[in-house]
């Protein structure tokens, strides 16, 4: 088998696919470009193209997820699903609405790669040029023709979520649910966190995808912590003298801020001869604690630069 992936596909996904015996070709920056390369390869070689979402058989297979949800959680009232090309949400919507039309099916896209809202408004698939999101699994610029028609008929709505919401959702899945979920898979949780009161419960969030690069995971977790007020980066100007750093650390200890990293800059031409700039990375306890830390440093006479 030959598997096509975007050039920025997570390395663990690429490595795992190769270990299963497939040849992996990294082509294109987004799924749409990768699909074009795969289609050309199929035409040139006579290979059978298995589309990731724009084929009835693929959609029917993905729809079995909806059947499993109804079987295992018959009391469900709302199902939330991540959306890229639309195969998964189309299949789930078709299966669920055929058996339980009272259950709401809601799709979720990243704001920077949200082709479905304008497509549904226009009544036909619309292309989003150069989609941008860290959620590579749903970074698709155009809905599939087959899933689009099914989404329009069987999915109640498609919402969008921000990158901050995706980061916070990924962090929540890791901390509270003990699940490693890729940004695309965290989309449904991001939607729930963004507007929890708008979902009729019980709610099932489909967490589809755990292929996340460790370096991206590190950045996303740090971003999620910062968005939640649990990670604070500050630059301060201090007098460059013995004991100055000790005094600064004492001030931070007094407000219960945990210092993760600290660095000095003395050679910036904007600094005076007796000044130094200190960059701090702190672990904090929430937005209010961040404000408390910043105010305490200012009250202690430090110039907080940002």
pLDDT band at 236 (very low <50, low <70, confident <90, very high): confident
Which region among 91-105, 141-155, 165-179 has the lowest average model confidence (pLDDT)? 165-179
Q: What is the pLDDT of residues 42-66, one digit of tens each?
A: 999 999 999 999 999 999 999 999 9
Averaged pLDDT, 195-218: 92
Which pLDDT does position 110 carry in this prediction?
Answer: 97
Averaged pLDDT, 101-110: 98
Q: Would you list the domain boundaries of the chain?
A: 2-45, 56-225, 229-304
Q: Would the pLDDT of 267 be above 80? A: no
pLDDT band at 11 (very low <50, low <70, confident <90, very high): confident
**Highest averaged pLDDT of the listed ranges 6-20, 77-91, 132-146, 167-181:** 77-91
Is domain 229-304 in CATH 3.90.1150.10, yes or no? no
CATH number listed for the domain at residues 56-225: 3.40.50.1100
DSSP the chain: -EEEE-TT--HHHHHHHHHTT-EEEE--SSHHHHHHHHHHHHHHH-PPP--SSSSHHHHHHHHHHHHHHHHH-TT--EEEEE-SSSHHHHHHHHHHHHH-TTSEEEEEEEGGG--HHHHHHHTS----SS---S-GGG--SS--HHHHHHHHHH--EEEEE-HHHHHHHHHHHHHTS-----TTTTHHHHHHHH-GGGSPSSEEEE-------HHHHHHHHHHHHHHTTSEEEEEEEEE-STTHHHHHHHHHHHTTPEEEEEEEE---TTS-TTEEEEEEEEE-SSHHHHHHHHHHHHHTT-EE--
Averaged pLDDT, 188-198: 95
Instruction: Tell me the pTM.
Output: 0.81
Which pLDDT does position 54 carry in this prediction?
Answer: 94
Which pLDDT does position 95 carry in this prediction?
Answer: 98
pLDDT band at 82 (very low <50, low <70, confident <90, very high): very high
Q: Would the pLDDT of 185 be above 80? A: yes
pLDDT band at 244 (very low <50, low <70, confident <90, very high): confident
């Amino acid at each position: 088998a030959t598997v096509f992936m975007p050039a920025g596909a997570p390395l663990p996904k690429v490595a795992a696919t190769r270990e299963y015996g497939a040849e992996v070709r990294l082509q294109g920056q987004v799924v749409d470009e990768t699909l074009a390369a795969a289609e050309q390869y199929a035409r040139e070689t006579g290979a059978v193209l298995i589309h990731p979402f724009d084929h009835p058989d693929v959609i029917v297979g993905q729809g079995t997820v909806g059947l499993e949800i109804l079987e295992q959680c018959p009391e469900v009232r709302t199902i939330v699903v991540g959306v890229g090309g639309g195969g998964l949400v189309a299949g789930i919507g078709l299966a669920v609405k055929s058996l339980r039309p009272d259950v709401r099916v809601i799709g979720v896209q990243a704001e920077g790669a949200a082709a479905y809202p304008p497509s549904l408004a226009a009544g036909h698939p619309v292309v989003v040029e150069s989609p941008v999101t860290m959620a590579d699994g749903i970074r698709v610029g155009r809905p599939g023709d087959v899933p689009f028609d099914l989404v329009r008929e069987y999915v109640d709505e498609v919402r969008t979520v921000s990158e901050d919401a995706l980061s916070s959702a990924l962090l929540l899945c890791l901390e509270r649910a003990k699940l490693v979920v890729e940004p695309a898979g965290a989309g449904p949780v991001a939607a729930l966190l963004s507007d929890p009161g708008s979902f009729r419960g019980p709610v099932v969030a489909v967490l589809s995808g755990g292929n996340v690069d460790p370096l991206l995971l590190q950045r996303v977790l740090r971003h999620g912590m910062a968005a939640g007020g649990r990670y604070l980066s500050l630059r301060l100007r201090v007098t460059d003298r013995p004991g100055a750093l000790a005094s600064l650390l004492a001030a931070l200890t007094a407000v219960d801020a945990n210092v993760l990293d600290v660095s000095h800059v003395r050679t910036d031409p904007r600094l005076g001869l007796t000044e130094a700039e200190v960059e701090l990375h702190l672990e904090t306890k929430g937005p209010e604690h961040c404000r408390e830390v910043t105010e305490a440093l200012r009250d202690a006479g430090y110039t907080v630069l940002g």
